[in-house]
């Protein structure tokens, strides 16, 4: 696990007015916290171009200097971030072809595999990665990102300068990086709380998309190719039958358990101690169950708790840890802890990033890093096995209402509701909905959702926070949502539930969930691993009948069926809770002054990004508890923190 950075000056290798070596070191070392164990650099001038590759190392496998990067083999030089968990078997296959190795490093395996098989070498790999290989003979740079998008990789191209890095802050250390705000990306951020790939907050800057190669040649021509698609399994299931390709329940459970066991066990490959984040939910409990009971692995487990009612899962996690005998530790997040962590957000997430659970994720990563260098998390189970509430709200309520004879009357009644009227309804019914503080915005969103014909577009719209009208009031450019960006209308799936999961797998998962964990963990030199995101699990789960994911009102049905073999039902059967931060409670009380300071009308007016009146009205509605979605204020606040660090 590492951090990488580099650049190419195309046909200007001998005609630059800055120190290339110093620039590369500055870029690389902006991410030193993620690779504190070693640093390396490579600079080449060939054919008039200049190529610079930099690396910061967090040593997990092959702890000796033989794992140093940049690493060279023949005419190839690599910088690489990630882990190839099955590198030993790939290495054995290469050895059977007569190849010799000087290290026990997966980096060397990637280089020799590329030399042996070219771009198709990635078909051999199970893991997470972002790498850059410079082919000195052909004067081209090959960038590649893992199938699901666990590891980050950004790129920039303008005026003959190509830059790449694991994090955007490295770009800002290059003297020729033209740092300009991309307003379309800002619109996406306000809609979702994250910016879907390939878009990026800066102009001329992009994310390398998951499961993709990006190749730039000596003339500056960029070519892209995709080597794997999460949609393939869903398409196979749709072609097989409307019920999914894999339908037999017992056989499916047995096969899935075998794939899970293999994938989970692979994530234990390490030359340093491994722990895991434990929430007490289905996914993390199953991960702990299989590793401890079936694989005989001893694990340290870590949990974050909250004092605010309705958010705390620590007691459940403690019971789970006790049952499986893990070495368990927990901490609680108080408002002061959140205050201290909030100040770190722009440094950790160098795009605006609105997922408020980034705060506890950072705190639990910092806590775990005191004991281990690697920690597993159970992300990916909800997207693959239909765990999110919104899937069922839409399928069982909104979509049925849309198709019913009552739909026209419901649309008409909701259209008559102005925001003020919606608040009056909310205020009268507040006592019947404890814990619901955004009732007004929910009614407004429902009225617009019922006007959307395409079910998947309906899901995409329901996933948004700021709607088009909100964005226009703020004075920000509207932009197409993730439904349009991913060609959602053409998703070939057997059912609506599968379409929703596929859209999340290709957007929300890599661009929100995985960003959150990767940046938080790497900021404290902790490697995060995601056992549920082995591509073999995704390929299998995508071919399952949806009835095996949601059956008789039970979500994650097949995962629970497996888990019942290892744990009593009372440990498994409880209401789902997401890993959410109490943003509403914090900023209505202890942290109120942070909003007041960073979202003041004077400050908003001075920056000139948002309309002060619209931002001020949102802040007033929040403080007066008028049913506004609290994440709208959080998104604006996080943007302001980011803007102050990167653009002011």
Give 102: exposed, middle or buried? Use CB within 10 Å, 0-12, 13-18, 19+. Answer: exposed
CB 381 within 8 A of CB 260: no
What are the phi and psi torsion angles at 251 (to 5°)?
-65, -40
Q: Does 144 participate in catalysis according to the annotation?
A: no
The secondary structure of the chain in percent helix, strand, coil, rounded to multiples of 5, reads 50, 15, 35
What element of type H or E holds 43? strand 38-46
Tell me if residue 32 falls in helix, strand or coil: helix
Q: In this structure, are residues 215 and 142 in contact, taking their beta carbons and an 8 Å threshold?
A: yes
- Which tokens sit at 166? 């694991």
Of the candidates 255, 233, 253, 266, the residue with the CA atom closest to the CA atom of residue 531: 266
Which position among 2, 200, 333, 493 bears the catalytic label? 2
Measured distance CA(488)–CA(484) in Å, rounded: 6
Give dist(CA 24, CA 194) in Å, integer: 28
Q: What is the 3-state secondary structure (H, E, C) of 550-602?
A: EECCEECHHHHHHHCCCCCHHHHCCCCCCCCCCHHHHHHCCCHHHHHHHCCHH
Which one, of 229, 168, 162, 174, lies nearest residue 202 by Cα? 168
Angle, in degrees to the nearest 10, between helices 455-462 and 439-449: 160
Q: What is the largest CA-CA distance in the chain?
A: 77
Residue (of 483, 485, 491) closest to 234 by Cα position: 491
Cβ pair 157, 208 in contact under 8 A? no
DSSP H or E segment with residue 45: strand 38-46
The structure tokens listed for 317 are 């996690």
Look up residue 2 and give its DSSP letter: E
DSSP 456-510: HHHHHHHT-SS-HHHHHHHT------HHHHTTGGG---SSHHHHHHHHHHHTHII
Closest CA to 379 of 515, 253, 247, 244: 515
Q: At 159, is the secondary structure helix, strand, or coil?
A: coil
CA-closest candidate to residue 502, choices 391, 384, 398: 384
Q: In what order do the strands lie in the sheet with 38-46?
A: 38-46, 49-57, 2-9, 161-165, 154-158, 205-207
Kindly write down the DSSP assignment for every residue of 168-180, as one continuous string: GGGGGGSTT----
Which sequence positions are flagged as catalytic?
2
């Amino acid at each position: 696990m590492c951090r990488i950075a580099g650049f190419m000056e195309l046909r200007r290798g001998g005609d630059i007015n800055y120190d290339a070596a110093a620039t590369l070191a500055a870029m690389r070392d902006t991410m030193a916290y993620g690779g504190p164990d070693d640093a390396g650099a490579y600079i080449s001038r060939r054919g008039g171009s200049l190529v610079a590759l930099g690396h910061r190392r967090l040593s997990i496998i092959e702890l000796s200097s033989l794992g140093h990067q940049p690493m060279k083999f023949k005419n190839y030089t690599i910088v690489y971030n990630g882990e190839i968990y099955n590198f030993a078997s790939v290495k054995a296959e290469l050895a059977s072809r007569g190849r010799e190795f000087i290290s026990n490093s997966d980096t060397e395996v990637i280089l020799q595999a590329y030399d042996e098989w070219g771009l198709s070498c990635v078909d051999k790999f199970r893991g997470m990665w972002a790498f850059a290989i410079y082919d000195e003979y052909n004067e081209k740079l090959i960038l590649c990102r893992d199938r699901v998008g666990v590891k980050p990789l950004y790129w920039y191209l303008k005026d003959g300068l190509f830059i790449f890095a694991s994090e955007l802050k490295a770009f800002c250390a290059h003297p020729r990086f033209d740092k300009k705000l991309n307003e379309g990306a800002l619109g996406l951020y306000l809609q979702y709380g994250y910016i879907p790939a390939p878009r990026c907050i800066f102009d001329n800057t992009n994310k390398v998309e998951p499961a993709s190669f990006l190749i730039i040649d000596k003339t500056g021509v960029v070519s892209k190719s995709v080597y794997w698609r999460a949609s393939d399994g869903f398409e196979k299931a749709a072609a097989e039958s409307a019920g999914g390709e894999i339908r037999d329940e017992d056989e499916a459970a047995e096969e899935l358990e075998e794939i899970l066991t293999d994938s989970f066990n692979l994530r234990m490959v390490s030359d340093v101690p491994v722990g895991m984040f434990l929430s007490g939910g289905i996914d993390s409990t199953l991960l702990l169950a299989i590793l401890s009971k079936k694989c005989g692995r001893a694990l340290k487990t870590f949990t974050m708790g909250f004092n605010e009612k309705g958010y705390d899962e620590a007691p459940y996690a403690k019971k789970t840890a006790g049952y499986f005998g893990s070495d368990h530790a927990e901490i609680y997040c108080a408002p002061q802890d959140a205050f201290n962590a909030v100040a770190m957000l722009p440094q950790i997430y160098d795009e605006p990033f609105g997922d408020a659970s980034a705060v506890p994720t950072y705190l639990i990563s910092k806590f775990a890093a005191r004991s281990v260098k690697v920690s597993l998390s159970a992300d990916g189970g909800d997207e693959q096995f239909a765990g999110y509430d919104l899937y069922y709200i839409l399928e069982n309520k909104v979509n049925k209402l849309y198709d019913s004879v009552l739909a026209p009357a419901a649309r008409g009644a909701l259209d008559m509701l102005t925001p003020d009227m919606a608040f009056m309804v909310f205020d009268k019914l507040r006592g019947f909905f404890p814990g619901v503080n955004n009732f007004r915005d929910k009614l407004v969103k429902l009225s617009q959702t019922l006007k959307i014909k395409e079910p998947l577009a309906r899901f995409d719209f329901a996933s948004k926070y700021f709607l088009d009208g909100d964005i226009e009031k703020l004075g920000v450019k509207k932009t197409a949502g993730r439904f349009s960006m991913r060609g959602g209308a053409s998703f070939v799936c057997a059912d609506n539930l599968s379409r929703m999961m596929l859209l999340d797998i290709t957007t929300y998962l890599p661009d929100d969930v995985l960003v959150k964990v990767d940046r938080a963990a790497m900021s404290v030199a902790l490697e995060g691993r995601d056992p549920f995101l082995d591509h073999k699990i995704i390929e299998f789960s995508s071919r399952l009948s949806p009835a095996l994911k949601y059956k008789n009102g039970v979500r994650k049905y097949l995962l629970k069926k497996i888990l019942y073999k290892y744990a009593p039902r009372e440990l498994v059967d409880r209401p789902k809770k997401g890993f959410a931060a109490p943003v509403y409670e914090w900023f209505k009380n202890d942290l109120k002054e942070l909003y007041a300071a960073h979202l003041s009308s004077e400050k908003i007016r001075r920056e000139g990004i948002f309309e002060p009146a619209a931002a001020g009205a949102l802040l007033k509605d929040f403080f007066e508890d008028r049913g506004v979605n609290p994440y709208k204020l959080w998104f604006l606040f996080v943007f302001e923190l980011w803007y102050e660090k990167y653009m002011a």
